[in-house]
């Protein structure tokens, strides 16, 4: 619906609106204090703290920036802090969809990523809690290149062949969410 409303706009008008909306967002973010970052807002992940909304926005922008770069044959940027933030977010988002669907996948999932390196654990209960650290013994652990894992969890590419069944099942929640009906 948003795209349909813009079909009559020129490319210059779309770019101007895009720049203005980003400036407005940045202005709001600049004013947030600790309490503001914890205030709840609506997002695709439900009503969550604004810091989670910002992570969703980063992941969404990172994915679509890659789309544009790959389309024109350019090397997509891979800033380590952005990559790690996106990997943590999409892992937690996918796990949250599994928690909300009430389908029990596991109590704990883990990620061991490289280029850049990161190890973290997802504790799945009524919510998803992400903690730095290595996988507990027996936890289904997804491992591989950070960007490739983001692409796989984001249903844009296959997960590594070594992906545990629980991660393959978890990915189906995101696939269901983004599959047109």
Residue extents of the structural domains in the chain: 32-177
Residue 91 pLDDT > 60, yes or no? Answer: yes
* DSSP-assigned states of every residue in 143-180: EEEHHHHHHHHTTSSPPPTT--HHHHHHHHHHHHHTS-
State residue 179's pLDDT score.
63
Higher pLDDT: 139 or 179? It is 139
Q: Which of 124, 118, 86, 81 has the alpha carbon at shortest distance from 103? A: 124
pTM confidence score: 0.85
Q: What is the CATH T-level fold of the domain 32-177, as seen in this structure?
A: Nonspecific Lipid-transfer Protein; Chain A (3.30.1050)
Q: What confidence category does residue 150 fall into, taking pLDDT thresholds of 50, 70 and 90? A: very high
Residue range 33-58: mean pLDDT, rounded: 88
State residue 99's pLDDT score.
65
């Amino acid at each position: 619906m948003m795209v349909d409303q813009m079909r009559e706009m020129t490319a210059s008008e779309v770019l101007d609106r895009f720049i203005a909306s980003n400036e407005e967002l940045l202005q709001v973010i600049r004013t947030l204090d600790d309490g503001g970052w914890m205030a709840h807002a609506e997002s695709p992940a439900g009503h969550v703290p604004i810091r989670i909304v910002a992570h969703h926005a980063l992941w969404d922008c990172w994915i679509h920036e890659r789309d544009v770069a790959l389309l024109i044959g350019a090397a997509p940027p891979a800033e380590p802090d952005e990559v790690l933030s996106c990997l943590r977010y999409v892992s937690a988002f996918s796990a949250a969809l599994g928690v909300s669907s009430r389908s029990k996948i596991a109590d704990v999932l883990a990620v061991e990523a490289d280029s850049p390196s990161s190890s973290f654990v997802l504790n799945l209960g009524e919510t998803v809690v992400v903690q730095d650290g290595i996988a507990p013994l027996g936890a289904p652990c997804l491992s591989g290149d950070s960007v490739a894992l983001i692409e796989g969890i984001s249903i844009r590419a296959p997960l590594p062949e070594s992906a545990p069944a629980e991660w393959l099942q978890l990915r189906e929640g995101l696939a269901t969410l983004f599959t047109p009906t």
